C-alpha cells in the first residue's frame, strides 16, 4: 500500500488504501476503517470513538460533535495542556497524535 485515502462522510471519517492491483482496501484504526467525527477530552487526551459520540449525545462536558457545523465556528473552545484551542484543531491534533502514527505503523 502506497497511499492513504481519507473520506469524510456526514458523521464518520473513513480510511482506505489502494493495493498494487488497484483494489480499494480498508485501513483500520481500532478495528474499523470508520472513525466517528465526535470528540471527547479526557485530561489532555482526545478520544475519537463511539464513546465520544455517546458522550456528546448525552451532553457530557468536554464532548464535541456536529463536526461540519462547528468547524466553521470560532466560538467553540476547549482547554488542553493549559491553553485554549478552537474546535477546528481537534481533528488535526487527533490525526497527528495517534491515528496516523498507528495506521502508518500497522499498515505501511
pLDDT in tens, 45-77: 999 999 999 999 999 999 999 999 999 888 999
Is the pLDDT at 2 greater than 80, yes or no? no
Helices (H) and strands (E) in the chain, counts: 4, 9
- Segment 29-37 shows an average pLDDT of 95
Evaluate if residue 4 carries a pLDDT over 70: yes
Residue 62, sorted as left (phi over 0), alpha (psi -120 to 50) or beta, turns out to be: left
Spell out a b/e string for 9-39, using b for 16 or more CB atoms within 10 Å of the CB, else e: eeebbebebeeeeeeeeebebeeebebbbbb
Q: Model pTM?
A: 0.89
- What is residue 1's predicted lDDT score, i.e. its pLDDT? 56
**pLDDT for residue 68:** 94
**Cell numbers at 63, concatenated:** 464532548
CA–CA separation, 84 and 66 (whole Å): 20
Amino acid at each position: 500500500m502506497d497511499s492513504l485515502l481519507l473520506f469524510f462522510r456526514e458523521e464518520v471519517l473513513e480510511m482506505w488504501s489502494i493495493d498494487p492491483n488497484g483494489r480499494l482496501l480498508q485501513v483500520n484504526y481500532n478495528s474499523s476503517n470508520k472513525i466517528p467525527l465526535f470528540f471527547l477530552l479526557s485530561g489532555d487526551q482526545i478520544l475519537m470513538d463511539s464513546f465520544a459520540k455517546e458522550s456528546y449525545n448525552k451532553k457530557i462536558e468536554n464532548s464535541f460533535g456536529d463536526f461540519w457545523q462547528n468547524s466553521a465556528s470560532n466560538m467553540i473552545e476547549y482547554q488542553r495542556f493549559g491553553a485554549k484551542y478552537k474546535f477546528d484543531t481537534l481533528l488535526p491534533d487527533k490525526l497527528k497524535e495517534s491515528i496516523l502514527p498507528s495506521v502508518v505503523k500497522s499498515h505501511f
